[in-house]
Structure 1
Amino acid sequence: MQININTDKTIERHQGLDDHVETVVQAAVSRFRDHITRVEVHLSDENSQKSADGGNRCMLEARVTGYQPIAVTEHSINLHQAISGAADKLKRAVDSALGRLHDKHMHKSPTIADVTDVTDEINEKSS
Structure 2
Amino acid sequence: MTIQINTDNTISGEKRNEEYFSSLIAEALQRFDSHITRIEVHLKDENGKKDGFNDISCLIEARIEGKQPIAVSNQADSVDQAVIGAIDKIKSAVGTIVGKMQQH
Q: Greater helix percent: which structure?
A: 1
Aligned residue identity for 2:60: L
The structural deviation recorded for 1:40 is 0.5
> Is 1:84 aligned with 2:76?
no
The structural deviation recorded for 1:47 is 2.4
Aligned with 1:47: secondary structure? coil
Structure 1 residues 62-73: aligned runs within 5 Å: 62-73=62-73
Unpaired stretches in structure 1, ≥5 consecutive residues: 106-127
Query: For 1:57-115, what per-residue CA distance to the aligned partner results, in whole angstroms no more than 9, with x for missing partners?
Result: 11000000021111000000011010000001000000001111222x2xxxxxxxxxx
How many residues are treated as equivalent by the alignment? 102
Distance between the aligned counterparts of 1:47 and 1:30, measured in 2? Answer: 34
Partner of 1:21: 21
Aligned residue identity for 1:19: E
Distance between the aligned counterparts of 2:7 and 2:56, measured in 1? Answer: 11
**Runs ≥4 in structure 1, deviation > 4 angstroms?**
none
Structure 1 residues 52-63: aligned runs within 5 Å: 54-63=54-63
Q: Greater strand percent: which structure?
A: 2
Give the alignment's TM-score, normalised by structure 1: 0.75
Aligned with 1:13: secondary structure? coil
Structure 1 residues 1-127: aligned runs within 5 Å: 1-48=1-48, 54-103=54-103, 105=104
Greater relative contact order, per chain length (Cα 8 Å cut-off, separation 6+): 2
Contact 1:53 1:76 in 2 (8 A): yes
Aligned with 2:29: secondary structure? helix
Aligned residue identity for 1:88: D
The structural deviation recorded for 1:24 is 1.3
Indicate the RMSD between aligned Cα atoms, in angstroms.
1.6
Contact 1:53 1:75 in 2 (8 A): no
